[in-house]
């Protein structure tokens, strides 16, 4: 599975991360895969990303999250994003405009959004000059029937990839995705549909990389997250399978761990990287935390690939009880793909 780091960030932040990667890790560009929302990205980000397009896979996100936040309408995005896509034909994947369903939507609102998304599956490939095999159709739904319906409609339009966008949402603006039992049922359905249709699928906005073993069990080809850098800004760092811990005291919602406990957690999770070798630097500099978080996501994928899904989920059960209990519900009832 591939992990796409969101780089819809300030240009100065991206430059700082690139410079640090070159200095500490000897890499010209730290990311193997990135996702960026060109509709809202700051000036200068796309030229930096395009420079590395031969060594980094790039996915253009159409901005569904920003529609969800009320910044744009679906019609506005569809008109504007097509011009942006046409002017930037160098990316590897292009997401078809979509309007996400949120947990607070009633049945009427959710049905209207599903219909609007299916219309985009049909119309957008017709108006754009982007190769259809590069298009990603985001599948939304509250039930397995709705997921199957959307997946079939998306495949009929000739897209090259499906996307999962049916997480449970929380927060005052429904801006936090949560992996719940309900969303796992929908994810399992999309996995079955994608396998039947012969298409890979991507999982949007996972947040914490501890969910990666479960996503790999369902056969996801890739996933993306802005959590690697957002968490870093609040003083949080990821550890494989354990999740996020706070090391600066800046996150009021998360307990802060001291040097001794952090060292123990690193040992338990068998993690060490160039960015977290010195705790004082990690605490003081957010871009060390961000690149550390990115490395943890890659390491999690590597561990699952080497040890196998069952061993990885058993480790998850020990180190992250909430996700461990969740995975136990599906390990015996779904077939890995």
What is the torsional sign of CA 124, 127, 128, 133?
A: positive
Q: Cα separation of 337 and 328, whole Å?
A: 17
> Do 274 and 143 share a structural domain?
no
Percent of the chain whose predicted confidence (pLDDT) is above 70: 95
Within 8 A by CB and 6+ apart from 51, the residues are none
> Do 158 and 59 share a structural domain?
yes
> How many domains would you assign to the chain?
2
Task: Indicate the helix (H) or strand (E) that contains 203.
Answer: strand 201-203
What's the pLDDT score for residue 336? 43
> Do 125 and 268 share a structural domain?
no
Contact 267, 261 (CB under 8 A): no
The pair of three-digit structure tokens given for residue 4, joined into one six-digit string: 């796409």
Domain, as residue range, for 315: 234-320
Contact 96, 62 (CB under 8 A): yes
pLDDT digits (tens, 9 = 90+) for 303-318: 999 999 999 999 999 9
The pTM (predicted TM-score) of the whole model is 0.93
In a domain, 225, yes or no: yes
**Can you list the alpha helix ranges (DSSP code H) found in the chain?**
11-20, 45-51, 64-68, 74-87, 107-127, 144-156, 181-197, 212-217, 227-233, 259-269, 279-284, 286-307, 309-319, 321-331
Where residue 167 falls among pLDDT bands split at 50, 70, 90? Answer: confident
> Do 211 and 71 share a structural domain?
yes
On the CB side of 112, how many CA atoms lie within 13 Å of its CA? 7
Given a cut of 60, whether residue 337 has pLDDT beyond it is no
> Do 113 and 17 share a structural domain?
yes
Other CB atoms within a 10 A radius of the CB of residue 68 amount to: 20
> Do 253 and 222 share a structural domain?
no
Given a cut of 80, whether residue 239 has pLDDT beyond it is yes
In a domain, 328, yes or no: no
**Domain boundary at 178, 199, 230, which?**
230
pLDDT digits (tens, 9 = 90+) for 112-158: 999 999 999 999 999 999 999 999 999 999 999 999 999 999 999 99
Given a cut of 80, whether residue 168 has pLDDT beyond it is no
In a domain, 179, yes or no: yes
> Do 126 and 219 share a structural domain?
yes
> Do 52 and 201 share a structural domain?
yes
Q: Residue 64 is part of a domain; what is its CATH number?
A: 3.20.20.105
Q: Cα separation of 292 and 17, whole Å?
A: 11
Contact 182, 269 (CB under 8 A): no
């Amino acid at each position: 599975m591939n992990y796409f780091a969101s780089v819809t960030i300030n240009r100065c932040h991206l430059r700082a991360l690139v410079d640090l990667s070159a200095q500490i890790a000897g890499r010209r560009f730290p990311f193997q895969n990135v996702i960026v929302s060109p509709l809202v990205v700051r000036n200068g980000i796309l030229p930096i990303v395009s420079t590395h397009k031969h060594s980094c896979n790039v996915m253009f996100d159409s901005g569904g999250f920003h529609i969800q936040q009320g910044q744009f309408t679906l019609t506005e995005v569809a008109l504007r994003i097509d011009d942006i896509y046409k002017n930037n034909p160098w990316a590897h994947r292009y997401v078809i405009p979509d309007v996400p369903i949120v947990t607070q939507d009633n049945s009427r609102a959710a049905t209207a959004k599903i219909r609007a998304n299916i219309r985009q599956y049909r119309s957008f490939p017709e108006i754009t000059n982007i190769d259809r095999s590069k298009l990603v159709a985001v599948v939304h739904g509250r039930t397995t029937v709705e997921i199957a319906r959307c997946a079939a409609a998306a495949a009929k339009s000739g897209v090259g990839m499906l996307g999962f966008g049916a997480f449970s949402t929380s927060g005052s603006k429904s801006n936090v995705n949560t992996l719940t039992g309900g969303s796992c049922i929908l994810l399992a359905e999309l996995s079955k549909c994608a396998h039947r249709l012969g298409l890979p699928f991507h999982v949007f906005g996972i947040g914490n990389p501890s969910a990666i073993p479960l996503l790999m069990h369902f056969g996801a080809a890739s996933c993306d997250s802005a959590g690697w850098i957002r968490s870093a800004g609040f003083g949080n760092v990821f550890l494989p399978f354990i999740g996020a811990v706070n090391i600066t005291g800046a996150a009021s919602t998360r307990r802060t761990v001291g040097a001794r406990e952090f060292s123990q957690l690193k040992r338990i999770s068998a993690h060490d990287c160039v960015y977290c070798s010195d705790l004082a630097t990690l605490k003081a500099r957010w871009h060390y935390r961000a690149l550390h978080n990115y490395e943890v996501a890659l390491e999690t994928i590597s561990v699952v690939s080497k040890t196998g899904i069952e061993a990885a989920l058993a480790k998850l059960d020990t180190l992250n009880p909430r996700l461990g209990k969740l995975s136990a519900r599906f390990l015996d009832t779904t077939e890995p793909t």
